Amino acid sequence: MSRPIKVSAFHDGAVAVAPPATINCPMTAALDRWMGGPVQQAGRRYFGQPVVGIKQIASYGCRGRNGSHFGPLSEHAFGNALDIAAFRLADGREITVLQGWWRGTPQEKAFLREAFISACAEFYTVLGPGSDRYHSNHFHVDLLLTNAKGSRHYCRPLPTRNPEDTPTAFLSDAEPSRPRPKPLAFTGDLY
């Protein structure tokens, strides 16, 4: 990474990053778009408030994939990846990937799935709970340009929305009903 950037917030300072993350410029721009757009929309949709912070557990680190000392380098080694373990809402509540993905409230599950699905559209590799044992407690997002098979996006587990995860099921004064977007579909093998 020729020009590392230490990032302490996204979305014009509205979404704090703790601890600050060291990433490259394209990753900074992609995270800013995702945090300022889909993540904020999901926070408002499911909780009626914005997301004001994230807890990251891995940014730049010169290492192999999944912490290995052998084999191909991780995108973290290029400042091209971030691991997100939790999202903090304006009221101080923390939505963790570890607890919220499988055992969270319906709102937490819906929020995390919406954030995950939108990450699959923004980033090239997105891994989360259910993808493998290394990603059970966080979302890994990176900008790997293409995988070995030439597929542009790799998203695991495959993104799906639960049809019951509608905003009006959670917020009594939610915006009027509108058609929900269809689930995104991504294919390809990562390595």
89 phi and psi angles, rounded to 5 deg: -90, 165
In a domain, 174, yes or no: no
Residue 185: count of CB within 10 angstroms of its CB: 11
Question: How confident is the model over 18-38, as a mean pLDDT?
Answer: 96
19: cis peptide before it, omega within 30°? yes
Asked if residues 182 and 145 have their Cβ atoms less than 8 Å apart, the reply is: no
Question: How confident is the model over 3-17, as a mean pLDDT?
Answer: 95
In a domain, 73, yes or no: yes
Residue 130: count of CB within 10 angstroms of its CB: 12
154-156 and 125-127 as β-strands: parallel, antiparallel, unpaired?
Answer: parallel
Question: How confident is the model over 158-168, as a mean pLDDT?
Answer: 55
Residue 170 has pLDDT above 50, yes or no: no
Asked if residues 57 and 49 have their Cβ atoms less than 8 Å apart, the reply is: no
Instruction: Give residue 68's pLDDT band: very low, low, confident or very high (50, 70, 90).
Output: low
Long-range residue pairs from 167-176, CB within 8 A, at least 24 positions apart, any chain: 167/45, 167/46, 169/106, 170/45, 170/46, 170/47, 170/106, 170/107, 170/110, 171/45, 171/46, 171/47, 171/48, 173/48, 174/45, 174/48
Whose structure tokens read 């009594």? 172
Residue-wise pLDDT for 93-121, tens only, equals: 999 999 999 999 999 999 999 999 999 99
The rounded mean pLDDT for the chain is 81
Asked if residues 93 and 85 have their Cβ atoms less than 8 Å apart, the reply is: no
Q: What's the pLDDT score for residue 153?
A: 74
Instruction: Give residue 52's pLDDT band: very low, low, confident or very high (50, 70, 90).
Output: very high
Q: Provide the domain count of the chain.
A: 1
Structure tokens at 115: 């954030």
Q: What's the pLDDT score for residue 1?
A: 75
Residue 127: count of CB within 10 angstroms of its CB: 24
Residue scoring higher pLDDT (178 or 3): 3
Asked if residues 125 and 142 have their Cβ atoms less than 8 Å apart, the reply is: yes
CA 105/CA 140 separation, integer angstroms: 22
In a domain, 84, yes or no: yes
Q: What's the pLDDT score for residue 64?
A: 62
In a domain, 188, yes or no: no
Q: What's the pLDDT score for residue 182?
A: 38
* Residue-number span of the structural domain to which 68 is assigned: 5-169
In a domain, 175, yes or no: no
In a domain, 94, yes or no: yes
Residue-wise pLDDT for 114-135, tens only, equals: 999 999 999 999 999 988 888 8
In a domain, 186, yes or no: no
E-state strands within 45-123 = 51-58, 81-89, 94-96
pTM of the shown model: 0.80
In a domain, 88, yes or no: yes
